[in-house]
Amino acid sequence: MNEDWTKHIAADLPATARNGDQQIVDMIRQAVLTQRLPPGTRLPEVTLGNIFGVSRSVVRKALTRLVADHIIVQHPNQVARIAAPDIVETREIFAARRLVEGEIASLLAGKLTQTQRQKLASIIDEEQLAHRQGNEAKRVECSLAVHRYLADQSPNRVLGVMLTDLILRTSIVIALYKRAGMQACYLDHDHANLLQLLENGPADEACRRMRAHLSALEALLDLRAQETHIDLASILGVPGGASASI
């Protein structure tokens, strides 16, 4: 299996030499957000250990934490992999995110500080610029930055970390289910409108707007029922045969 994503990972952050496992967690999170680490990617412990120059103990701790975040999945005696949620879970992730991020928008609405206003405005400006210039990677990065900033600034920290997790999981399912030739999830002036409502609008209106934004995002994905549960018997024409599904 091709494992040259390792180069991409090591390219990040200037070796801040933190607790070791925190560094690995951060790097993998970042790589997942920017879709350099696609769902299903194998993450062998020794490989990661070599990349970051630590032993399996440290890698193991990092993986355990990422499993808790639902970023990766681990089955006994098998290599850890980047999670690949099915369609049902994808819908659940979006529903949960609408609930949480809608509430955060509601909490923030009409209460933005000057700093927050400016920061959001600058991110959104940069996003629109990147879009006009056709710089897709940059645009996605800015789009993520908007939501991550809201999570960071949530007055309720508990909801804030929940949203941080959900944003990560959303990145994964977008990588999984984005339509082939789509304009990778760009929703024209949604973020600008959102900012307007966060500045002035009533709280419930900001909430509704946020939920609508996320629903629009979800609608851009290809979430038609997959070909799981293939009934061999029915396909092969055995009339009363026991249905064996894969």
* Both tokens assigned to 146: 């908007």
196 binds a second copy (CB under 8 A): no
Out of 8, 36, 60, 138, the residue judged to bind a second copy by CB under 8 A: 60
14 binds DNA (CB under 7 A): no
Q: Which of residues 75-94 bind DNA (CB under 7 A)?
A: 76-80
User: 82: closest CA among 151, 18, 17, 34?
Assistant: 34
- Piece in contact with a second copy (CB under 8 A), picked from 3-11, 40-48, 89-97, 177-185: 89-97
16 binds DNA (CB under 7 A): no
Which DSSP state fits 231? B
Which C-beta is closer to DNA: that of 46 or that of 68? 46
99 binds a second copy (CB under 8 A): yes
Instruction: Tell me the C-alpha distance between 241 and 233, whole Å.
Output: 6
The 8 Å CB, 24+ separation contacts for 32-37 are: 32/71, 32/82, 32/168, 32/171, 32/172, 33/144, 33/167, 33/168, 33/171, 34/137, 34/140, 34/141, 35/140, 35/171, 35/174, 35/175, 36/5, 36/8, 36/9, 37/5, 37/8, 37/9, 37/82
Which C-beta is closer to DNA: that of 180 or that of 236? 236
* Both tokens assigned to 43: 């993450």
Q: How far is CA 178 from CA 77, 79, 234, in A?
A: 31, 26, 31
Which C-beta is closer to DNA: that of 59 or that of 195? 59
Q: Which of residues 8-37 bind a second copy (CB under 8 A)?
A: 19
Which C-beta is closer to DNA: that of 22 or that of 35? 22
Q: In degrees, to the nearest 5, what angle opens at C-alpha 51 toward C-alphas 47 and 52?
A: 120
230 binds DNA (CB under 7 A): no
78 binds a second copy (CB under 8 A): no
Least distance from a second copy to the Cβ atom of residue 95, Å: 6
Interface ranges with a second copy (CB under 8 A): 19, 60-61, 64-65, 68-69, 76, 89, 92-93, 95-96, 99-100, 103, 156-159, 162
Interface ranges with DNA (CB under 7 A): 19-21, 42-47, 53-58, 60-61, 74, 76-80
